[in-house]
Structures are given as C-alpha cells and as structure tokens.
Chains A and B, each alone.
Chain A
Amino acid sequence: MRGFEYVVADSPAAARALAGEVEGARFYAGGTTLVDLMKSDVERPRRVVDISRLPLSAIELRGEVVRIGALARNSDVAYDATVAERFPAVSEALLSGASGQIRNAATIGGNLLQRTRCTYFRETRWRCNKREPGSGCDALDGFNRGHAILGTSDACIATYPGDLAVALCALDAQVVIDGDGGERTIPIEALYVQPGERPDRETSLAPGELIVAVELRAEPLYTRSHYLKIRDRASFEFALASVACAVAVDGGRIVGARLALGGVATVPWRAREAEAALAGAAPGEEAFRRAAELALAGARTREHNAYKVELAKRAVVRALRTVCGGAA
C-alpha cells in the first residue's frame, strides 16, 4: 500500500469536485474492493474521497420504480421487503455473494464496480493489460480455471466477478449517474465495457462521475425471477457460473423471458438471443436447452475453463426450470 490523501465529501457535488482535482482519485464507500486492492498495491490512488456519509442510502418506491441509493448496504437491499418480493433474483444474488460481514459493509454502487478476481490482475508481479495496458496477459496461458469464456479478447479474459449486476442486468435495471452535466440514467448493460484492446477501461463512467442510484421498474415479469449460483464451496465464494432469469408463462407459452449469466463473462452477460428463442415457446427442457445453447454460442475457452461451457448451460436449464416451477 502506498501513502495517500484521505478526504471526506459532504455532498455528491463536493465528492466529484474533490475527485476531479487529483488524477486517479478513488471514491471510498464500503471499501471492500478498494482497500484490498490498495493493500496489494494494485490500486495506488493518491487521493481517496470518502463518500460513505453521503445521503444516498435510501431504498424508495417511487410509483412503479424502486430507487436504490448507491450507498445502500448489500444486506439492507437483500432484506428489503419490496426488493425481495418484486425482484427475488436481486435479493438472491445479493445473499449469494460474499459473507454476512462483507454484505454489511459493501454498498450497491461499489458492488457494481467490483473488480475482477483474476489472480494475474491482483498481484503486481504478473503481466496484465488491465492493470498496465500493453504489458500482456499472463492469464491467457496460465491458471485460468475461473476465467471468462464470453466477451473475452486476446488482451483479457478476466471474469466480471459480481452477482448483483447479473441479476440487475436480467431485470433491465437502470443506473443513475451524477456527472458534470447533472444526472443521467443508462441501462445497466451500458455501464460495462468489454475488454477488447483496452481492458483497463471497464465502464462507461467518465472520470469523476459518481453512481448515485440504481432503479428497477416493478414489472410483473420480475416477480418470477431467480438467481442460481454454482461455486466450489457452499458459501463465501465467487461463481464458477451463475444465471439470473425471469420468465412469464401464459396459456402454456412463455410470454416474456429475461436471462443473464455471471461468472463466465468479462461483463454481466445478457443473453438476448436466448430470450428471443424462449419467447413463444412451451416451457420445458427442449426450450430451456435451446436457450442454453444460444446463451453460450459465442464461448471461447482456454486450457482450464472449458468445463464452464457445459456447466453454464446446465445452470441455465436448471434456473429456467426452477423459475417456471410447475409450468414446465
């Protein structure tokens, strides 16, 4: 860890101003990602702007939209009655992540920006295009059991590690961002950027921009949603593969479907072709398997992660079967 300047912001505008004064400044909320990476010398901010005391932690129902403040704690959101009832996949995703202690500290906005667990990123001794653009990638031919098979490039195969964003992606969440031009709202998918040639660019946020909220529209479809996570141990573990889905069935046909994958892609991975194939189909193994095949159609594997293709497909089938319940 390097020495750094610590400042406390008393408003979102002040936070952005304080961050804007120093190149590479970082916002500090729960600290569960940032502090780890500072200790391991991966993050070296010269200034850390503490935003944890800003009034951004409310969870409010505004008409048909649930607005979750960026500083709401993961555990508070997971156990919020409205979230659990209207967006079960979000609640399940949050509770499947990390441990109780970490969920009590972690914030929603910070969680969206959680950085990869790629071991070659997290130690400075390795070559990593994400950490040092152009230096190369030691993960490509290294121990890449946990690495991505979707959305990869020749420069980077690091997996997006989070659970929450996968569920939010499936449920069409919007992210509210405070920037120089005031607040703007974007679909959560548009927040994330695939690595391509520049894996150091992970999001569409401009320097100094601050996530202030996440919004979810309370559609009936989302109440029948589910998050399934597969991992080595039973808790406190990142996904080998995960699936968030929502399905509406009417008259023996699927009339609406949402599907996103985690643990297998460089960003939270929305599977739109699979959704399209599900629409109009009779819920059942045949339709689910076809959706799974489409969801993984673009998979590119490396030496140690080929198993993820089949594992993710089976997870898709199981998640769809679970959410369809007796209808399948």
Chain B
Amino acid sequence: MTSVAERPATRGFIGLPVDRVDGRAKVTGEARYAADTAIDAPLHAVIVQSTIASGRITEIDESAARAVPGVVEILTYRNAPRVPVLPFDFTAPVSEQLAPLQGPEIKYDGQHVAAVVGTTFEAAREGAALLRIRYESATAEFDAEAAREIEYPEQWFGHEAQTRRGDPETAYARSEVRLDATYVTPIENHNPLEPSVTVAEWRDGDLIVHDSTQWVRGTRAALAKHFDLDEERVHVIAPFLGGGFGCKGFFWPHAAIAAMAAKLTNRPVKLVLTREQMFTSVGHRMETRQRLRIGASRDGRLTALLHDTLGAASRVSTFVEAAGGVSEMLYDVPNVAVSHRLARLDVPSATAMRAPGEAPGSFALESALDELAYACGVDPLEILRRNYAAVDPSNGKRFSSKHLLACYERGAEAFGWSDRPRAPRAMRDGDELIGWGVATATYPALRSPAEARVTLAADGTVDVASATHDLGTGMYTILAQIAADALGVEPDAVRVRIGDSSFPNAPVAGGSMSSASVGPAVQDAAQRARREAIRIATSSAGSPLHGMREEDVETSGGAVRAKGEPSRAIAYGELVRLRGDGAIEALGSAAPDGEEKYSFHSFGAQFVEVRFDEDLARLRVSRALGVFDCGRILNPKTARSQMIGGITWGIGMALLEETVRDPRYGAVVTNNLADYHVPVNADIPNVEVEFVEEPDYALNPLGARGIGEIGITGVAAAIANAVFHATGVRVRDLPIVPEKLLGAPAS
C-alpha cells in the first residue's frame, strides 16, 4: 500500500537519532521524581493493607502504633475524610469502585485499610507494623474456572466485547482442519523501577499533588471528584516517571489516601507504596484462559476463528483484558466469534499493562497459528502470509498504511528463516537443542485530542508546554525535535515542559498514543508561532524583511530569512522584541480524524531463536529480531530503545514472569523482585530491531504512529513456537518454566 495523504515538506530534525534531552538531568540526579519533591516538613504516610480477602474489619487497636514516637495520625475508615464511590470514565479514570477507608468491608487481600502518618518515614513504618487489626472472614473465591459469578461485559474502552461475523460455529464444524486449544496467561505485574508515589498538600483549599502518574489531567479530574472541587483547584505535577507501563495510567486509591491524610493533618503528606504493595495496589495484567477454535482448509487458509477469553477480575473494577481483539482484525477470516467473560473473584483489580489485550491475545492466537501450521504441514511463516488481511476484516475498511508483508520478508531474510528445518528437534549444538519461532506483532494506532503551547521568547529560546508525560520513553526529546523542525531552530534551543495539569490538555500516556496525539499538536502550535513570526517579520517597519511576501521567506537557524538570500534575516528573538508586546505564543491542537475511512494499526514480525539444554531443562533466548511497521520513526534511537524494551518484556512474559497468589488465602506470595522474576541482562540476547519506515500521513501530518507497546506483542508466542521447534513440546501456559519442559525422567 502507498501513503494516502500528500507528503508535507520535511525539514531537518525529525527522524534524527537525537540524544535524550533529559538524559543529563537523569544521570546527574537533577531530574526530580515525585518522591524527590522538595517540600517543607512533610509527614510520611505508610499504608496498611488487609490480610483477608473477603469479610470485614471487626477491631482496630491503635494503641501500640500511636505510642511510637513521631506517629501523629492513623487514618482508618473510622476517621478518614468522606469520599464517594466513583465510576470509571474517560475523563476521571477511577480504577476501583471502592472508595478508600470508607467502611469496614474487605473486597480483596491487599486492600488499603489504614494509613499511619508520622513525622519520619521510619516512625510511620514502625507504627504500621504495630497497628493491630482484627477481621471476620467471609468465604472467598480465587479460582476463575470455578467462579459463581461470570459476567459478559458489553464493552472495553468503547469497543464491543462480544462480536461475531459470518457463521463461525458452522464454518468451524465443516472445516477440513480443526484446532481446539486453550492458552493460559498468568497474573503479571508492571514492576516499574519507581513505585507509585503521591505527595499531597492543601493550600487555601487548593490541592497540589506531585504524583507518579501517566495522566496528570485524569488524576486531576479524579481528585477533584473525590474532594468535590473544581478541577482548576487541583494541580497535578509529574515531570518524570521511572516507568509506568500502565500501572500509573489510571487513578488508584493510594493517591486519594495521601490527599485525605494531608487534609486530616493539615500538613503536606508523602506516600510511597512499597514494592510489596505495588503487587496489589495499582493493578496487574489479568490472568486469562483463552480457548481458541480454529478451522482451516488443508493448505492452512483460515475459515473460522472462535476466541473465548475468561479473565479473572475483581469485584470492584470494570476493566476487561480484551485478549480477543486481535482475532477480529489480524487475519483474513470470514467467520469469527470473539467473546470475553469475567470471573468475579475476591482479588485485587486488574488494569492495562503494556499492550493490554494484544500481549496475552497474541500469545494465544500466534501459538494457535503455529500449531495449525504443523497440522497442515505448512511453514509457520508461510501460514501467516497466507492469511494476510489486505483490508481490516473486522470492518471492511482499508488500513491507512500497512506493510506487514515487508516486515515478514525483511525479517525472514535477516534472520535466515529459509534455512529452518521444518521438523522439531532438528537443530542441535552440543547439549543444546535449537529452535526458531515467528509471530506477528500488532497494536492499534490510537489517538486522542491534544493541545500544546509554543512560546518564542526574546532570548531566542522556544518553550513547549503540554500536559503530556515522559515515562522514560523519550517524549521530551521528540517534542523538542518536532518543535525545532517546524520552527527551524536547533533542538537544544527548545525547552519542553510537560507533566503538569495546568498545561494545555493531553491524553493519558497509554495506548501508545502520545506521539501520534501530542506530536501533531506541538507541530501545529509551532507552525502557528512560525506563521506569526513571519507575519511580524514581513509587516514590521524595523524588519529587514519588511514588505516581502510571506511565501518569499523561510525559517532556519532560529531566524526568518529571505529565500535565496539567507543573510537577509531576522532572528526570532529580535522579532519578539520588535513586536514589543511580550512573547510570541501560539496554542496548537490535533484531534483524531479519518476513522470513517481507515483502520489504523501498526504491525511487525517477531523472530526468535531459543536454546534448550534438555538434561537441565534450561531454556534461554539466544537471538531476537523484530521488524516493525510503525509509520515514520521520529527518533530512531529512542524508538529502538522502546522496541528492545518491549521485546525484553516479551521474553520475561514468556519465560519468567508470574504473580502467584496463595490458592487458599488469595494473597500474593511472589510480591518482591526476588520471587517475581523479571529478566536480567544475562537473560537478554542481542536484540535486533528494524523499521519498515513508511509514513502514515492519514493518521497525522507527522506520519508517525505510536511505538510504546507493539514491541511486546507476539514475542511470547514466537518463543513458545521456538520452544516447540526445539523440543517438540507445546507449552500453552505461561511462563515456560523448567518443570514444564522436564519431560519424562532421563533413562
């Protein structure tokens, strides 16, 4: 497919591997994260959590805790300020429909039941250890398959959760080849390096919050609703995040508790969740059981696809892990049924986690296609190609820009796929079996309305402001590049300010939508500022360009210049002074359009090699290659890092990561980074990343799609497929730990 919109003129800085503009601040400690917020004499709050999964608090004994020197207050449901139960919506994204510290009822193990506030963190922590709470337990359920309450959600984030096309049951029954398999993905936790933090302060009835949030405007709205304030009276600040991955995307109760504690004590309060608390307090990737029934012709062409997902959900959240979404649009299948079911259990609430839906969904779908390839005697890459969807089969729309076949082709060539023997257990090196696997990567190209302000100052600097975020992804850098590019200044002349709810509106840093939403808004604002500068340059008597037509001037090197006569110029700073009325300021915006015409998605192909020491059941990924079609790449350096991070996540998901709850009590027993295994450097091979760089100008004038999440999609399946190729063992439940590959005792 070709690009569908006219290619706008490009200038210098987009697409360059510019170093992170915030890199120096981060490595020198200048970057201030929420917990680094400098405030005078804050109090410290330490949260105490429920140790039963269902029931009620019967007794709270505060005496020992209050006796600790430095403990000044203990918040429980008995004395906490009243706040309402709030619904989740996309203006005020309250994750749990359970207001914190409002009653004795317990809905899950790990629910916040108290906050001990002290003059030092140590005092608060000791007080928390000494707080005695007694409970009366009710029967609790933790097993999704045995759950009494099963819900069929109508929608997830505005998409239908139960969809069908054609006649999938009949088509499946009549298919020449049938596959019926169930794939299981465990609970996983985001585990950002920085735990969630809220520093809350009330000033004259206004609430000022430094928060580790991926959505300053969403947090502002949620806090305003909790405390019945106008949004303008709540100020949320989050200039830097130490990772988020979804667990800081929506609003969680600890942030309200920090503000409640500050209100009750009339002092600033700092609240930092512990690593253990992070496992139950800010969401997780929901456990899924996905049953796939696939019908195909003997040559591997899909005729029917039924994808049913059972997710393990809390009783106080509406979140749906939409694993089946990928089956609606990825392959050209005439008969499809996608269903999502939620088992309501006495467990903490789930949330979006890097590539929600697609990450677990692609594990199931891409594993199933690999199984089908073996059932049909077709090469596993060929079966993906054979079912390629030229248009979006879920709605019949054209894709705005789709170059998936090029991803397959380039990946296969770079990886050496044509040398792959078809049969499992056919490649060996010493004690190790070797296997190769492939899978498709996919993630939607989402956008949301966004605004930005660009200000040209008399000293020649450029200021960009938007209420967007940098999770460590490179947002500061690409916005500087975009503004520099549009204005004709060097990126280091641009100061980007983000992570502040008082800045122009921007969406959640989630759904891989920030670059494609905020980037165009910054570009629009910069172009408006540039036009204003040109207007002043050509219309002001003191300008060397006075009287010239606007089309006869250009901008470069921080100045407006006559075309063909670059020395006849006036710098932006001088124009500001010439104008004599303060800075040149422009508000820009961007909003989604074209949805009636196009389907917007990114694609990719994941290739991996595994090595398996059969005696020791030792499995390692030895090669990984991802080739991605994500539109125009704004900064290949930060983009490559995003993809390496995503693939690393995929390796963790495939081999290591699992949050285990005690089956009797429903409490997390792997709630630390020794027992919850994220990959370490030694687990990650040299990851190769390539981009098929075809701009998507139907999506936005930058031609860029988001890149935060697609990197993880398909990886777990590619690894499971490689494991099958290496060993002949098909593992359908993640993670692929040694005991699943130990097989029969060696003779």
Are A233 and B677 touching (Cβ within 8 A)?
yes
Provide the A292-328 mask, 1 if CB < 8 A to any CB of B, else 0.
Answer: 0000000000000001001101110110000000000
Known: A41-B129, A233-B677. 18 other contacts (CB 8 A): A3-B68, A117-B674, A117-B675, A119-B675, A125-B667, A138-B662, A142-B662, A142-B663, A143-B670, A230-B618, A232-B655, A233-B680, A235-B680, A235-B681, A237-B680, A311-B742, A314-B615, A317-B746
Are B745 and A233 touching (Cβ within 8 A)?
no
Are A1 and B683 touching (Cβ within 8 A)?
no
Q: A87 on the interface (CB 8 Å rule)?
A: no
Are B683 and A234 touching (Cβ within 8 A)?
yes
Which residue from chain A places its CB closest to the CB of B51 in the assembled complex? A125
Given contacts A1-B125, A143-B669, A233-B656, contact A238 B674 (CB under 8 A): yes
Q: B542 on the interface (CB 8 Å rule)?
A: no
Q: B9 on the interface (CB 8 Å rule)?
A: no
Which B residues are closer than 8 A to A by beta carbons? 51, 68, 122, 125-126, 129, 276, 615-618, 620, 655-656, 660, 662-664, 667, 669-671, 674-675, 677, 679-683, 737-739, 742, 745-746
Are B126 and A1 touching (Cβ within 8 A)?
yes
Given contacts A314-B746, A318-B615, contact A119 B126 (CB under 8 A): no
Q: A141 on the interface (CB 8 Å rule)?
A: yes
Which residue from chain B places its CB closest to the CB of A308 in the assembled complex? B739
B675 contact set on A, CB distance < 8 A: 117, 119
B656 CB to closest chain A CB (Å) equals: 6
Are B682 and A142 touching (Cβ within 8 A)?
no
A307 contact set on B, CB distance < 8 A: 738-739, 742
Are A311 and B616 touching (Cβ within 8 A)?
yes
Given contacts A1-B129, A233-B682, contact A317 B122 (CB under 8 A): no
25 contacts between A and B (CB under 8 A): A1-B125, A1-B129, A3-B68, A41-B129, A117-B674, A119-B675, A142-B663, A143-B663, A230-B618, A230-B738, A232-B655, A233-B655, A233-B656, A233-B679, A235-B680, A236-B680, A307-B738, A307-B742, A314-B615, A314-B617, A314-B746, A315-B616, A317-B615, A317-B746, A318-B616
Q: A2 on the interface (CB 8 Å rule)?
A: yes
B677 contact set on A, CB distance < 8 A: 232-233, 237
B125 contact set on A, CB distance < 8 A: 1
Give complex CA distance A2, B123 in Å.
9
B662 contact set on A, CB distance < 8 A: 138, 142-143
Q: A269 on the interface (CB 8 Å rule)?
A: no
Are B669 and A233 touching (Cβ within 8 A)?
no
Give complex CA distance A237, B615 in Å.
20
Q: A120 on the interface (CB 8 Å rule)?
A: yes
Given contacts A117-B674, A138-B662, contact A3 B746 (CB under 8 A): no
B615 contact set on A, CB distance < 8 A: 314, 317-318
Give complex CA distance A230, B737 in Å.
12
Which residue from chain A places its CB closest to the CB of B652 in the assembled complex? A233
Q: A29 on the interface (CB 8 Å rule)?
A: no
Given contacts A143-B669, A230-B618, A314-B746, contact A235 B682 (CB under 8 A): yes
B618 contact set on A, CB distance < 8 A: 230
Give complex CA distance A95, B656 in Å.
22
Are B738 and A119 touching (Cβ within 8 A)?
no
Per the 8 Å Cβ criterion, residues 75-125 of A in contact with B are 99, 117, 119-120, 123, 125
B84 CB to closest chain A CB (Å) equals: 31
B656 touches which of A125, A138, A232 (Cβ 8 Å): A232
Which residue from chain A places its CB closest to the CB of B667 in the assembled complex? A125
